[in-house]
Structure 1
Amino acid sequence: MKENPYLIFSLNNSLYGVEALSVEEVFFLPELTPVLDADRYLVGVVNLRGKIIPVIDLLLRLGYRTRNYQLTDSVVVLNWQNQRFGIVAHQVREVQNIAEEEISRRQEFSVRLASPTNLEEEENRLSSSLAEVNTDSSSSFLSGIARLETEIVLLLNLENLLHLEPIQSNLVSELDSQTLAEKELLAERLFAPHATPEEKAIFRQRANHLRQVSESENLTGALPLAVINLNGELLGINLHLIREFTEIERVTPIPCTPERIVGNMNLRGEIVTLIDLRSALNLSLSNARSYSKAMIVEVEDLVAGITIENVRDVTFISPEKVTAVPAALHSTNDEYFQGTAKYCEQIVTILNLPKIFQEGGLIVDEEV
């Protein structure tokens, strides 16, 4: 049985898949530079280590309304027949092998985004949408439907999705030839206009970082970190411990548990306990339980969600650049910190998450 790897990601409440071999890299969404006279779905470009990468909003490309960009959004950079493009993904999940027998192939599809509640009904609805298909093959952006256990994944047809060669070939010259007036006009067409000033600053910092990182930079042995905000503090978490970032929706309180246990949430059928790290880190609880985002982590087979303000970035830090926690920041919980490092002219404190879970009183006896 032949299997092919696909990168799975979400848009709104639907799952999509792209051939993993076409994926070059994934990074958190940076500030994008808009391009005059480009199609609406080509929402801008990013300077990735000196290379101009067009970025498309997949929702707009599929003919749907987009939503406000968030710090947890990502860009998946694809290379298809020597064309490099980025697509905006709301949540990048994992790479999964999908057998050909698990894929329902169609010549063309026209589907609406949905939040599946019954897989059989959803699969039938998607199949029946064939009657609405446009006869122009260039509008077929889906190559098939795959059923993975309890979920439906829509597989993208990259050949049609990335058929933008005329635009890509002119991007660099168009950007270089823009007049000052045109650049000022583009500046007025702000990227993520609904973002807060702090969020806009983070988007811009990400773009600057992607532009400045040298392609030849040796990242061997570097520590991959997710930089998050918690009570205004920048904290670094080992990326290998993080499964995903998600929005906190409905939370079920757990009776007779400490305040640090926020409650349980249903994450696509998996019950995950949400934890507030602030008490373990001696941070203020004045705005307790007000966070709307969670970082799903897996530490020694224990899966939990950690409430956070937002995700700042994903970065790599050389171990040589990690220093001891400054004396001014010393506390009774120093053992929970691996050290500090400079990040975008600021200091990020790197957490020892396994030690926090083991000794921070975060694990509650289920019989309590």
Structure 2
Amino acid sequence: MKHQSYLTFSMHGLLFAVDTNVVKEILWLPELTLIEECPSYIAGVINMHGKIVPVMDLNIRFGNPPQRYGLSDRVIILDVSELYSEVPDQQSKIQNPISKINLLGIIVNDVLDVTEIPKEDTEPPPFHGSEVKPHPYFVSGQAKAGEKIIMILDHRTILDVEFEIEEPEIGESEIIPQSAIKYFCPEAVQQERELFHQRAIQLHHIFDSDDSAALIPVAVIGLNNEYLCVELESLREFSRIHNFTPVPCCPEHIAGNMNLRGNVLTVVDIRSLLNMRAGKISDTTKVIVADAGEFPAGVIADEIFDVIYLRREDIAPVTNARRAVSEKFIKGTAPYSGKMMAMLDLKEILSWDGLVVNEEA
């Protein structure tokens, strides 16, 4: 059975997926810089890693009316460099200005899970080929995921500038005066604009270094209203909790089992290891899937906030308040969003002897 790994995301109530092989980063929507002479679906550009990256409003690209941006929106950075390496005609590459694009951001409402979809669970969209195609198909297939249907985004066609989808007409009451369009989100209030700006500044300065090897990619998670982070190299995927079964007569840090695509995943609640109060598991609970020896395990999180890069010099030693109870499980602390977050040693946590259930006890 052949599986393909996808990053799933939502956009205005619809579910989409994109090949994880082309996903480079996931960001909170930062302030975008407006530019002239670009397609209407390009919302602006960002300075990331010292590179100018165009950001596409995927909603507009599909021909839908513009929607207001919010602080909870995300940007998925895609590697689209391969799209032009296969063009045999060198002259075509010179004439096509988009051939210089290596990275592209797409704006979405929420990033959900990384999941594997069996090839046999995917089907071509029902109306492909039924009529003369007015533009490239942006959806390459549909996938069944339980009761849900996920549309698989074809990242190879969304940049095809030869085709423009006619945008719907906008009533006079909805038109924003041209004089007001000086900001990528003209409806944003001052507090929102400040946060958008802070994100853009942080995105630029975090990568203001020639030594990329000194940067550590981490996932920022929330647990009991505290920020924590784990190194990405320790992780397999993120998932929402589902098909969960509590297991009786187990230590409090063993929450239960979860069925993850037919495999039994042991779910671990690390709150007791960090001297946090107990919490409840709900439909909104997230699970971080990581390697734990021979089999993977899932670690509970209330929220998965961000994927960022930390400079090694920004990681401070564990404070005295935490050292007594969690020195073994915490590598250090680092700043995030005006607060300090603990960097968890996930490998140490999942290899801890206390996680082993003694069936003879």
TM-score, normalising length: structure 1: 0.66
CA offsets per residue over residues 101-122 of structure 1, 9 Å max, x none? xxxxxxxxxxxxxxx99947x5
How many Å apart are 1:237 and its aligned residue?
1.0
Matches within 5 A, 1:243-254: 243-254=236-247
Query: Which stretch shows the higher mean deviation, 272-281 or 29-38?
Result: 29-38
Check the 8 A contact 1:75/1:88 in 2, yes or no. Answer: no
1:130 aligned counterpart, secondary structure: coil
CA offsets per residue over residues 127-147 of structure 1, 9 Å max, x none? 7533434422x332356899x
1:139 aligned counterpart, secondary structure: coil
Residue 80 of structure 2 is matched in structure 1 by: 78
Q: Tell me, in whole angstroms, the C-alpha distance in 2 between the residues paired with 1:92 and 1:204.
A: 27
Matches within 5 A, 1:264-343: 264-285=257-278, 287-290=279-282, 292-343=285-336
CA offsets per residue over residues 301-356 of structure 1, 9 Å max, x none? 33122111222332333444433212233323321121223345432211122222
Residue 255 of structure 1 is matched in structure 2 by: 248
- The 1:269–1:166 alpha-carbon spacing in structure 2 relative to 1, beyond 3 Å, is same
- The 1:49–1:338 alpha-carbon spacing in structure 2 relative to 1, beyond 3 Å, is closer
Residue 28 of structure 2 is matched in structure 1 by: 29
1:342 aligned counterpart, secondary structure: strand
1:350 aligned counterpart, secondary structure: strand
User: Which amino acid in 1 is paired with 2:185?
Assistant: L
Q: Tell me, in whole angstroms, the C-alpha distance in 2 between the residues paired with 1:364 and 1:25.
A: 38
Check the 8 A contact 1:30/1:204 in 2, yes or no. Answer: no
TM-score, normalising length: structure 2: 0.67
How many Å apart are 1:269 and its aligned residue?
2.9
Matches within 5 A, 1:134-149: 134-136=132-134, 138-141=135-138
- The 1:181–1:143 alpha-carbon spacing in structure 2 relative to 1, beyond 3 Å, is closer
CA offsets per residue over residues 81-115 of structure 1, 9 Å max, x none? 21342135735749x9xxxxxxxxxxxxxxxxxxx
1:314 aligned counterpart, secondary structure: strand
1:162 aligned counterpart, secondary structure: coil
Matched, 1:129 2:148: no
Residue 170 of structure 2 is matched in structure 1 by: none
Residue 110 of structure 1 is matched in structure 2 by: none
Check the 8 A contact 1:205/1:344 in 2, yes or no. Answer: no
User: Which amino acid in 1 is paired with 2:217?
Assistant: P
Greater share of helix: 1
Matches within 5 A, 1:1-368: 8-11=6-9, 15-17=17-19, 20=21, 23=22, 25-31=24-30, 33=32, 42=42, 45-49=45-49, 51-58=51-58, 61-62=61-62, 74-79=76-81, 80=83, 81-83=99-101, 84-88=103-107, 90-91=111-112, 93=114, 119=120, 123=123, 126=124, 128-136=126-134, 138-141=135-138, 154=152, 156=154, 158=156, 160-164=157-161, 181-183=180-182, 186-189=185-188, 206-214=199-207, 216-285=209-278, 287-290=279-282, 292-359=285-352, 361-364=354-357
- The 1:295–1:130 alpha-carbon spacing in structure 2 relative to 1, beyond 3 Å, is same
Check the 8 A contact 1:357/1:363 in 2, yes or no. Answer: no
How many Å apart are 1:280 and its aligned residue?
0.8
Q: Tell me, in whole angstroms, the C-alpha distance in 1 between the residues paired with 2:193 and 2:262.
A: 34
Check the 8 A contact 1:26/1:75 in 2, yes or no. Answer: yes
2:29 aligned counterpart, secondary structure: coil
Q: Tell me, in whole angstroms, the C-alpha distance in 2 between the residues paired with 1:366 and 1:252.
A: 18
- The 1:336–1:299 alpha-carbon spacing in structure 2 relative to 1, beyond 3 Å, is same
Give the length in aligned residue pairs: 315
How many Å apart are 1:282 and its aligned residue?
0.5
- The 1:11–1:321 alpha-carbon spacing in structure 2 relative to 1, beyond 3 Å, is closer
Check the 8 A contact 1:29/1:88 in 2, yes or no. Answer: no
Q: Tell me, in whole angstroms, the C-alpha distance in 1 between the residues paired with 2:334 and 2:262.
A: 38
